[in-house]
A and B are shown apart, each in its own frame.
Chain A
Amino acid sequence: MTTTPRWRALTQHHLFWPVAVLVFLLLINVPFTPDFFSIKMTDGHLYGSLVSIVLFGSPLILVAVGMTLVIATGGIDLSVGAVVAITGALTCSYISDQADQSALSAVLLAMGIGLVAAVVCGLWNGFLVARMGIQPIIATLIIMVAGRGVAQLITDGQIITINSEPYKLIGGGYWLTLPFSIFVVAAVVAVTVALTRRTALGLLVESVGGNAEASRLVGIRSRRIKIMVYVFCALCAGIAGLMISSNTSAADGNNAGLWIELDAILAVVIGGTSLLGGRFSIGGTVVGALVIQTLTTTIYTIGVPTQTNLVFKAAVVIVVCLLQSPKFRAKVFGAKFGSGSGAKGGGKPSATPADTAPTTAAAPKMEVS
């Protein structure tokens, strides 16, 4: 196979492999569902598999985007699933107490209460990690376990169902022919990108995650930054909680957002952000979350028996992770894809000229054959 420099540059882009996997997964569906890519307009709403994937993947994208920043600081947040449950429980129980469940002001207040609770959870996580110096995995385990109990307390152990038109909009409604959730996700992603790349927050987060001690000595207030990302992550989880409870018009303290933290971590890793912290990619995470959601959809469309679908999922995840590893690519595809700083999921690029004549480092290398 001949390769051109442009092709080479493309394969080394950090989003290449996640996007390739996503496209591949989408294509797999076509033989089973020939109209997989078609989108129909019914009753002024757009319907189709692609729309569904984004719609059902919305909560995961939200949680994973928040998780990306936490992971970039070298941390991890296991509590997001519980925060989803708490937010949903508080909001729904407040709405269910109202005489008029569709009153807009009451719904907005309920959502506010839910999100404040999420922020409090984030502050608690950030306090434990940044101030008390507890390892993130332990610190966030507390709310992961206890949070479900809190959600149960709020709902009295019941599943609270509500009937609120305005609240239904967030997770189940349509706007401008598209599910409203998609707009919420787009807004959150846009805000996150602006917050991290338009300000210096992204750089400081990557610095703290890349080398914590150097960041301290350079004067970065890393505690403040860590608290911020945990709060932001919890806030994203809170919005996802609103979305999930809105979609079902119910708050289930036990099952809402169950195991979403693991899918979110997976999405971040598939997106090319290293669990060691440092460089992060919001775009990669969004693609990663879509990969996971597409996988779930694919499992249903190609008819994998439900009892084996976790195995199927695991197999795909392994393949994705292997493709992300520069070492693996070098072994299987040869040096064409192996070297360079394409994906970071698998660690450092295998060939880094640490002590080489650096005069021409920026010049692209031409392929001989």
Chain B
Amino acid sequence: MAEPLPVLEMTGIVKEFPGVRALSGVDFRLFPGEIHALMGENGAGKSTLIKVLTGVYSLDGGTVTLDGKAVRIGSPLQAQQAGISTVYQEVNLCPNLSVAENIFIGREPTRAGRIQWKRMRKEAAELVDRLGLDIDVTAPLSSYPLAVQQLVAIVRSVGTGDSDGAGAGTKVLVLDEPTSSLDRDEVLELFRLMRQLRDEGVAILFVSHFLDQIYEICDRMTVLRNGALVGEHLVSELDQVGLIHLMIGKAMDQLEELHEHQLHADVGEALLHADGLGRTGGIAPFDLEIKKGEVVGLAGLLGSGRTELARLLFGADQPDSGKVTIGGKQVSMSAPNDAISAGVAFCSENRKTEGLVPDLTVRENIILALQAARGWTRPIPAAQRDELVAKYIKALDIRPANPEARVGQLSGGNQQKVLLARWLITQPKLLILDEPTRGIDVGAKAEIQKLVVSLSEEGMSVLYIAAELEEVLRLSHTIGVLRDRKLVAQIANGPEITPTRILETIASGEHQ
């Protein structure tokens, strides 16, 4: 690629928080008409760099030039006016308004103070059309699935700048984890749009945890580690192994170790029986047995009923048919308490909304489940509490290793570990993990998978849900396959079971 002038150049960027140097002299440049990946583990400084770029944080050192001119970006609005638009993982639009209104919100075409609705709809339709999308701009945004809403957010951001020449205003488009909740087709549609914008000369900064996607769509990447620049590379010149190596430094052998790991064979007696357990609108009645020390993996597409199944086994939702027996005793499952006192623990896929209490400290979050089981009148003695917390912070390598830190400030992987610690100190018999590795970095992912293996070796049963089939295959003794909210097959894992076989089962709905 010839090297034209970069549209954006950040030099020596420094950002400090009380006690933390989040970015120490990071250089970053972005060329027009390229898709550029920002890579790094959680906590490497990706988000901080993006937030500096988009004006959410003010910078403590360094310079930013846009089109060769030094700029100061003091607020997200200034960033937008300068031509830097951002689309976050969560769609920040108004679902109750129409697509057109969402695209033009805050900069509606007006005449004499009144909104020109017709013109707005027409321009929105033209913009959508030009970007090759099939969206009815008069329909409410909420009538479209999340993926389309995300596309609308992108349309909105490239339309920012001036209401006449749509797209002309945006020079830099930042996409922060846009694909984490999209399925394959939706990702392809997003990529098509990204390529079109790239070809129109927009510089796109793309952040994703999916390495395959990076290699599919990106031209160039910048790698950060511990708030410092590690390097800038053309994607074609750096393979995945090399990239991971750059991102995590020296923890490579950890990953390989896991690949070679053999499932332990000594699975014990049945721990949990579900007979005809089901919930209308959630999951069709199913039978499931989980043995002591067994890892049961659930495979299936997003929305196939994986989470719904897990929630029934925890009493998070109330079943309307069937029964559950744990350790020979029937459990009513009318509330999570019933499951918890029977020895079941559940880490939800939604860490923020269903897992952590962000305002509380790491220590408080860790002891919460144990304390809830003891009741409010029997606080855990301070010495015992601190010892337990310190033990699990060390065992799971939670960083910062400060029990007083507010859990909301931790990175995703460390938050996940806090959740794990919370349940592990209750010493459950069955641990349900719903997407425990979603949105966390490679190193933490490997650690959590290793933990699952060693827990099951110690006799704990695990119900493991993950979007990546390889992950499920690597860890599970038995694989439950879900399709259209039905448990369609339960397959004993073995050398002959491959992701393709599982995919075939998902596709056909039965196990051959």
- Chain B residues contacting A218 (CB-CB under 8 Å) are 336, 368-369, 372, 422
Residues of chain B within 8 A of A278, CB atoms compared: 357, 359-360
Chain A residues with CB under 8 Å of B404's CB are 362
Contacting residues, chain B, for A355 (C-beta < 8 A): 22, 42-48, 411
The segment from A43-51, A60-68, A199-207 found at the interface with B is: A199-207
Report the Cα distance A200→B227, complex, angstroms. 38
A330-369 contacts to B (CB < 8 Å): 339-341, 351-365
A357 x B226 contact (CB < 8 A): yes
Cβ of B373 within 8 Å of any chain A Cβ, yes or no, is: yes
* Residue A41 CB within 8 A of the other chain: no
Q: Which residues of A contact B353 (CB under 8 A)?
A: 211, 213-214
What is the interface of chain A mostly: helix, strand, loop, or mixed?
loop
Contact B402 A361 (CB under 8 A): yes
CA distance A270 to B85 in the complex (A): 38
- Contact mask for chain A residues 181-213; partner B; CB cutoff 8 A; 1 contact, 0 none: 000000000000000001111011011001101
Bound Cα distance from A191 to B341, whole angstroms: 31
A213 to B355: give the CA distance in the assembly, Å. 8
CB distance from A74 to the nearest CB of B (A): 11
Residue of A217, A220, A356 near B354 (CB, 8 A) is A217
| Minimum CB distance partner of A364 in chain B | B19
Cβ-closest chain A residue relative to B423: A218
Question: Are A214 and B355 in touch, CB under 8 angstroms?
Answer: yes
Binary CB contact string for chain B from 342 to 378 against chain A (1 if under 8 A, 0 otherwise): 0000101000011111111000100111011111111
Contact B368 A210 (CB under 8 A): no
Q: Are B399's CB and A359's CB within 8 A?
A: yes
B296 within 8 Å of A (CB atoms): no
Q: Please determine whether A206 and B357 come into contact, CB atoms closer than 8 angstroms.
A: yes
Partner of A204, one of B16, B355, B372, B422: B372
Question: What's the Cα separation between A22 and B44 when bound, in Å?
Answer: 44
Q: A219 at interface (Cβ–Cβ under 8 A)?
A: yes
Least CB distance from A166 to B in Å reads 34
Residues of B within 8 A of A340 (CB): 18
Contact across chains for B360 and A361 when beta carbons are under 8 A apart: no
The reply on A13 being an interface residue by CB < 8 A is no
Q: How many residues of A contact B (CB 8 A)?
A: 40
221-266 of chain B: CB within 8 A of chain A: 226-227
- If A207-B368, A358-B411, A361-B19 touch, does A353 touch B377 (CB 8 Å cutoff)? no
B340 within 8 A of A: yes
Given contact pairs A198-B379, A219-B340, A357 touches B20 in the complex (Cβ within 8 A): yes
> Are A341 and B406 also in contact (CB < 8 A) when A214-B353, A214-B354 are?
yes
In the complex, whether A225 has a CB less than 8 A from a CB of chain B is yes
Of A201, A211, A213, A365, which is in contact with the most chain B CB atoms at under 10 Å from its CB? A211
B96 contacts partner chain A, Cβ-Cβ < 8 Å: no
Q: Mark A158-188, 1 if CB is under 8 A from B, else 0.
A: 0000000000000000000000000000000
Query: Is the beta-carbon distance between A356 and B17 smaller than 8 angstroms?
Result: yes
Q: Across the A-B interface, give the 4 residue pairs with the lowest CB-CB distance, nearest first.
A: A355-B47, A356-B22, A353-B17, A210-B357
Q: Could you show 9 A-B contacts with beta carbons less than 8 Å apart?
A: A200-B374, A200-B375, A207-B357, A352-B17, A354-B47, A354-B48, A355-B47, A358-B20, A360-B21
Using CB atoms and an 8 Å cutoff, list the residues of chain A in contact with chain B. Answer: 198-201, 203-204, 206-207, 210-211, 213-221, 225, 278-279, 339-341, 351-365
